[in-house]
Amino acid sequence: MIRSLRLFLALLAIPVSSAPAIAQVAARAPAPAAPTTAAPRTILFVGNSFTQGAHSAVRNYRAGSVTDLTGRGYGGVPALFKLFAEQAGLSYAVSSVTQGGSTLGLHLAERRPLWDRRWDVVVLQDFSTFSRERPGDPASHVRDAGAIAALLKRANPRARIELLATWSRADLIYRPGSRWTGTSIDRMAIDLRRGNDAARRASRDIDGVIPVGQAWNRAFATRVADPNPYDGIAFGQLNLWSYDHYHASIAGYYLEALVVFGKVTGVDPRRLGERERAADDLGLSGPQAKALQQVAWETLSAEWP
């Protein structure tokens, strides 16, 4: 009895600094997040096939997890965003209004009843060349993006409106007949980004630009992805385009969704890690997912203050 009492008193006298290292690590670990009953934030994606995930398995991926307001039942980039958010512990109610080949002007003229309501966040994605008649001319984009943003801010003055700047189309770079024919692979994405920046400057209702095209350019520059699908894909590199060299592949849409996720939530996409669920479901390896997450992070961090 006396021996047990002495041992107990000796343990009480041990200074905190001499406690086992594992206890110190546990003390630094973040506490589990408290359960919340707050309503999820709402996010709407307005766009076309580049948002749908067309010509890839992304289009129908986890379609039941999001609300396609057109009734077609697509999952697409919105479904990837939803899954990324869930894995990061974030709650979003995700909806989309898309139509292949559409411009923002078409959504403004014909789809307004679907999207003109209160949202917390809206991502607007225009046609891949802005205008069909005048490819690369951002005039219609500036006008229509501003008009849609104004209506959305009228419904919710605190809504966050983001424009999505898309990628260079290989078919318009490497084939004849395009205004970008023979230019460097990054040129078209740069032009599209400048058009989106112009729309943002012209409208007080547009809050930012999501640099997806810049992420593709970084993937080419860092050799994560091959810049020319017409001469074969280099060993160990990804093809970001689908079979038409116009739309994105699974890897291309995955990168798009990572950039959207990072820009909208402020979460480092690298936190998703090699075991990220969508990558595994869609056939991307762990190292490929990690490389694309790194590209997304580097692109976003270069723009964040």
What residues does each domain of the chain span?
Answer: 38-301
Residue 268 contacts residue 297 (beta carbons within 8 Å):
yes
pLDDT, position 295: 98
pLDDT, position 192: 98
List, for residues 53-63, the tens digit of each pLDDT value: 999 999 999 99
List, for residues 248-287, the tens digit of each pLDDT value: 999 999 999 999 999 999 999 999 999 999 999 999 999 9
pLDDT, position 178: 97
Position with higher pLDDT, 174 vs 32: 174
DSSP three-state, residue 9: helix
Beta bridge partners of 43: 94, 121
What type of residue sits at position 123?
V
Average pLDDT over residues 130-143: 97
pLDDT, position 185: 98
Average pLDDT over residues 214-224: 98
Average pLDDT over residues 65-85: 98
Residue 65 contacts residue 87 (beta carbons within 8 Å):
no
Average pLDDT over residues 206-220: 98
Average pLDDT over residues 23-28: 30
Average pLDDT over residues 60-88: 98
In whole angstroms, how large is the CA radius of gyration of the chain?
23
CATH number of 38-301: 3.40.50.1110
pTM: 0.88
**Of the given ranges (26-35, 172-181, 218-227), which has the lowest mean pLDDT?**
26-35
pLDDT, position 38: 80
Whole-number Å distance between alpha carbons of 66 and 72: 12
Residue 138 contacts residue 199 (beta carbons within 8 Å):
yes
Residue 72 contacts residue 113 (beta carbons within 8 Å):
no
Residues shown for the chain = 305
List, for residues 164-210, the tens digit of each pLDDT value: 999 999 999 999 999 999 999 999 999 999 999 999 999 999 999 99
pLDDT bucket at 37, cuts 50 / 70 / 90: low
Whole-number Å distance between alpha carbons of 305 and 263: 13
- Sign for the pseudo-dihedral over CA of 284, 260, 93, 48: negative
With CA atoms as reference, report the closest residue to 244 among 49, 60, 103, 99. 49
Question: Is residue 3's pLDDT more than 90?
Answer: no
